[in-house]
Each structure stands twice: as structure tokens, then as C-alpha cells.
């Protein structure tokens, strides 16, 4: 636990209050970062896991984006990754998609508190393989919220119906901009999304960060790799030991151009 406190202290202004609440199994306070950001979170959110993924491991790389770049964040949760990337440039524009109503409440609050409402558009809908509606697990840790499974991913879960559109529909609605970064963390739906995405859209994506979940949808990793490679991406990978991982996809020509 002391090592955890030291790790928190590197990034948080209030590390002891976070550490003590976690140690005593009490509700966590808001996370206040040394870089000026604040994370508010609700009963079902898991800011500790997000802190670990973004700041302690870290699993998300800098954007290195050009002026006025556009980022699509699918499965934005409380906005942690968008907030992290937003600090690199003040002109980067974000589209955040979060269908879980509980996570979306925290996301909306965090964008307001951190002054990002003018350059982040929030979409309270799922991205999937088709347009319509879909049931998603609620009243579970929002980082585990998924549309898959007959049983909830945690005790007390219940299904709620949310709107769903394809990535192409979302991109067209946004005016078909070039997408500097496509981040997908959707608890198993990543394969359906990429399978349904047009070659035209993928040709307009510079880099992608796709979390795969074979423990939810067996074989989805291979499906994602196939889609990304056929679209011309070079792929590297971080693999978790519990049949999950992250695919990092970029284009060789883009790296050569920007070097």
C-alpha cells in the first residue's frame, strides 16, 4: 500500500486522502492532479484503474497531434483519456462516445469542471455494427459495462436500452474530418465496430488505439488485427494476462513524414 501511496503522490495533489479512502474501503474523493486536471467520478466508476492505465503503467501514448486535429474516443467512460490528451494542444477537437448513463454523467461533469466543453462533443450513444438500439449493463463498474453476456459482469447489474449508431454514421455527422486518433475501448464491441467500418473512413484515420477483449468476445483480437492490417496500419501490442490487450496502430508513411 505504501508503494501505491508513493505512486499516487507523483501525480496527485491529494494522494493521501485517495490512498486512505481506498485502504479503508470508503468512497474515493475526486482525483486532483498536479497537472491541473480534476477527475470527478460516481459510485460505479473506477478512477483507480484509469489512473493506473494512463499515468502509472502507462498504456496511452502522447498524441503528438498537428494543429486542429480530431480525436474520436469510443468508450470515453469518465473522460480520463480525453482529458489526458487534451493537455497536449489547446486546439485538438474531441468526439466522445459513452453509452453508459452513469459514466456519461461523470464525463459531462469532468468536461465542464476542466473547461473543455468548447472542444469536446459528447455523444450519449453506443458505436456498434449497426444503427438502432442496444441493451448495455448498468449498475456495474462502468469500466466493465458491456452489451455482451447473459449474466452481469458484476453483482447487481441490470440492462438499460441505449441508442446505437455505426462509426461511419458518426463520422458523417461530424462532417467526415480526418481522424488523427481513433481510440476504441468498448468491452467486446471493437470487432463489430471495425468490421462495419468503411474503407473510406479507415483511410482517413492516422493512428488508432484499440483495446480488445477476447475474454468477452472470443476471437475479437484477430478480427481487429485483420481489419487494421487490411486498412494499411502497422500494429504493435500490449497484452494483459487476462485475455485482453491494446493494439496500437499507425501508418509508416505518417511517421516518416512527421520525422
- Per residue in 69-87, pLDDT tens? 999 999 999 999 999 999 9
Q: For the chain, how big is the Rg over CA atoms in Å? A: 18
In a domain, 5, yes or no: no
In a domain, 114, yes or no: yes
In a domain, 102, yes or no: yes
Burial of residue 149, with CB atoms counted within 10 A of its CB: 0-12 exposed, 13-18 middle, 19 or more buried:
middle
What is the pLDDT averaged over residues 151-176? 97
Query: At 222, which CATH number?
Result: 3.40.50.150
In a domain, 246, yes or no: yes
In a domain, 22, yes or no: no
- % of residues, the chain, pLDDT over 90: 96
Q: pLDDT at position 116, please?
A: 97
Asked if residue 259 has pLDDT above 90, the reply is: no
Q: Average pLDDT of the chain?
A: 95
Asked if residue 255 has pLDDT above 60, the reply is: no
Q: pLDDT at position 253, please?
A: 60
Range of the domain at 177: 53-258
CB-CB contact of 208 with 196 (8 Å): no
Sheet holding 179-184, edge to edge: 120-123, 93-97, 70-74, 179-184, 205-213, 244-250, 234-239
Identify the band that residue 29 occupies on the pLDDT scale cut at 50, 70 and 90.
very high
Residue 135: CA count within 13 A, CB half-sphere: 10
**Predicted TM-score (pTM) of this structure:** 0.95
- % of residues, the chain, pLDDT over 70: 97
In a domain, 243, yes or no: yes
Asked if residue 151 has pLDDT above 70, the reply is: yes
Identify the band that residue 258 occupies on the pLDDT scale cut at 50, 70 and 90.
very low
In a domain, 24, yes or no: no
Judged by DSSP in three states, 92 sits in coil
Q: pLDDT at position 2, please?
A: 80
In a domain, 201, yes or no: yes
Name the domain count of the chain.
1
Amino acid at each position: 500500500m505504501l508503494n501505491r501511496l508513493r505512486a499516487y503522490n507523483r501525480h496527485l495533489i491529494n494522494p493521501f486522502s485517495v490512498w486512505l479512502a481506498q485502504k479503508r474501503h470508503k468512497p474515493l474523493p475526486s482525483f486532483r492532479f498536479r497537472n491541473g486536471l480534476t477527475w470527478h467520478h460516481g459510485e460505479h466508476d473506477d478512477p483507480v484503474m484509469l489512473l493506473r492505465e494512463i499515468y502509472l503503467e502507462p498504456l496511452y501514448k502522447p498524441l503528438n497531434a498537428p494543429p486542429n486535429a480530431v480525436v474520436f474516443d469510443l468508450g470515453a467512460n469518465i473522460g480520463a483519456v480525453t482529458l489526458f490528451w487534451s493537455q497536449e494542444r489547446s486546439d485538438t477537437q474531441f468526439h466522445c462516445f459513452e453509452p453508459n448513463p452513469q459514466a456519461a454523467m461523470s464525463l459531462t461533469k469532468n468536461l465542464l469542471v476542466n473547461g473543455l466543453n468548447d472542444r469536446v462533443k459528447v455523444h450519449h450513444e453506443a458505436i456498434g455494427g449497426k444503427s438502432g438500439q442496444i441493451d448495455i449493463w448498468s449498475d456495474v463498474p462502468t469500466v466493465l459495462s458491456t452489451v455482451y453476456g447473459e449474466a452481469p459482469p458484476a453483482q447487481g447489474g441490470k440492462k438499460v436500452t441505449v441508442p446505437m449508431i455505426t462509426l461511419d454514421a458518426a463520422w458523417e455527422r461530424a462532417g467526415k474530418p480526418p481522424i488523427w486518433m481513433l481510440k476504441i475501448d468498448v468491452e467486446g464491441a471493437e470487432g463489430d465496430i471495425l468490421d462495419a467500418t468503411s474503407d473510406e473512413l479507415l483511410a482517413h484515420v492516422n493512428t488508432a488505439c484499440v483495446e480488445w477483449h477476447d475474454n468477452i468476445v472470443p476471437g475479437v483480437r484477430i478480427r481487429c488485427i485483420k481489419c487494421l492490417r487490411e486498412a494499411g496500419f502497422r500494429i504493435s501490442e500490449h497484452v494483459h494476462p487476462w485475455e485482453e490487450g491494446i493494439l496500437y496502430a499507425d501508418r509508416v508513411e505518417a511517421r516518416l513524414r512527421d520525422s
